């Protein structure tokens, strides 16, 4: 509900609407996003009917600014659909990120893991159906609210999910990021692509000033200031062209200047500058 005009109209309410051109709207919306004057973005709402595995739903519901209604496993029989990762998604635990996957494994292992997931999923599905007495004429079976406890979190659920645009952009920023689990990234990216044509100016501003921007801590800004001030001089003195990145590493190790940053912060700064 709503579009770029709704955002611009809301922002202009304080001094009267008048006639405005598309370029006025663009400048205004970009100004709002750039300066985090985000309440006019709340005038637009996005609503989705989602079908998603329970483990993705668990991440989705962490976004508290959404309004949602979910399929009830107490009232209704849970769906027969289960998420099984495709071959390229089957990866080992990352060596660098405790919260993710990374690297490769032999195809034979992938097949074995895929088969194990498939077999266990099937057993759980059969157990659930047996418990609820699915297809049985002799007994009504166990209550659905109890029987469902044997189902895995790969089981698909459904929900209606609604959010205002400001919080939706925040959701996209967090969940389209490489650090988010691949499966919720996939959902967030598709959701974003669906919303983008409805609010092209606001989306462009979000991409320019938020999604693809970087922010610097006070210490990081100090490091960059130091690097920009001293790099030309050092480069000249050393007599050869070195990259800013390699110079940054030298600055990190330098003993005559400290920036009070942990190793992790230095790594993050390097990542930001890539």
Ligand X SMILES: Cc1cc2nc3c(=O)[nH]c(=O)nc-3n(C[C@H](O)[C@H](O)[C@H](O)COP(=O)(O)OP(=O)(O)OC[C@H]3O[C@@H](n4cnc5c(N)ncnc54)[C@H](O)[C@@H]3O)c2cc1C
Q: Which residues would be at the binding site for ligand X (CB under 6 A)?
A: 62-65, 167, 170, 174, 179-180
What tokens appear for 237 in the block? 């003195």
Rounded least distance, CB 171 to ligand X, Å: 6
Residue closer to ligand X, measured from CB, 13 or 61: 61
Rounded least distance, CB 63 to ligand X, Å: 4
Residue closer to ligand X, measured from CB, 178 or 256: 178
Query: Any idea what DSSP says for residue 92?
Result: P
Sequence-distant (≥ 6) Cβ neighbours of residue 200 within 8 angstroms: 4
Rounded least distance, CB 43 to ligand X, Å: 17
175 is annotated as an active-site residue: yes
Rounded least distance, CB 98 to ligand X, Å: 10
Rounded least distance, CB 225 to ligand X, Å: 29
Sequence-distant (≥ 6) Cβ neighbours of residue 1 within 8 angstroms: 44, 45, 46, 47
Place of tokens 């598309």: 22
Rounded least distance, CB 36 to ligand X, Å: 12
Residue closer to ligand X, measured from CB, 62 or 112: 62
CA-wise closest residue to 211 among 171, 183, 164: 171
Residue closer to ligand X, measured from CB, 25 or 167: 167
Q: Max CA-CA distance within the chain?
A: 90
Distance (Å, whole) CA 199 – CA 6: 10
Q: Phi-psi category of 18—alpha, beta or left, where left has phi over 0 and alpha has psi -120 to 50?
A: left
- Determine contact, residues 29/205, Cβ cutoff 8 Å: yes
Distance (Å, whole) CA 75 – CA 85: 28
Distance (Å, whole) CA 62 – CA 45: 18
Identify the active-site residue in 12, 34, 74, 175. Answer: 175
Question: Strand runs (DSSP E) across the chain, as ranges?
Answer: 45-53, 67-70, 156-164
Could you tell me the CA-to-CA distances from 95 to 49, 100, 118, 253, 266 in Å, in that order?
Answer: 36, 9, 26, 25, 19
Residue closer to ligand X, measured from CB, 58 or 112: 58
Residue closer to ligand X, measured from CB, 29 or 180: 180
The residues carrying an active-site annotation are 175
């Amino acid at each position: 509900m709503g579009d770029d005009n709704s955002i611009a109209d809301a922002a202009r309410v304080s001094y009267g609407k008048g006639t405005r051109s598309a370029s006025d709207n663009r400048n205004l919306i970009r100004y709002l996003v750039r300066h985090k004057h985000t309440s006019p973005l709340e005038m637009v709402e996005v609503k989705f009917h989602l079908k998603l595995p329970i483990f993705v739903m668990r991440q989705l519901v962490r976004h508290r600014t959404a309004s949602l209604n979910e399929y009830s496993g107490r009232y209704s029989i849970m769906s027969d659909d289960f998420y099984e990762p495709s071959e390229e998604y089957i990866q080992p635990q990352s060596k660098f990120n405790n919260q993710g996957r990374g690297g490769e494994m032999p195809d034979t292992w992938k097949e074995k893991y895929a088969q194990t997931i498939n077999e266990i999923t099937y057993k759980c599905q059969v157990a659930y159906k047996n418990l609820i007495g699915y297809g049985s004429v002799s007994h009504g079976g166990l209550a659905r609210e109890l029987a469902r406890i044997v189902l895995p979190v790969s089981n698909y659920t459904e929900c209606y999910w609604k959010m205002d645009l400001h919080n939706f952009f925040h959701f996209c920023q967090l969940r389209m990021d490489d650090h988010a689990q691949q499966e919720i990234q996939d959902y967030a990216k598709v959701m974003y692509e669906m919303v983008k044509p409805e609010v092209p100016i606001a989306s462009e501003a979000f991409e320019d000033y938020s999604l693809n921007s970087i922010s610097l801590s006070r210490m990081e800004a100090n490091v960059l200031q130091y690097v920009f001030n001293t790099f030309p001089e050092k480069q000249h003195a050393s007599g050869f062209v070195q990259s800013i990145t390699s110079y940054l590493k030298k600055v990190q190790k330098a003993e005559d200047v400290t920036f009070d940053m942990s190793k992790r912060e230095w790594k993050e700064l390097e990542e930001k500058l890539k």
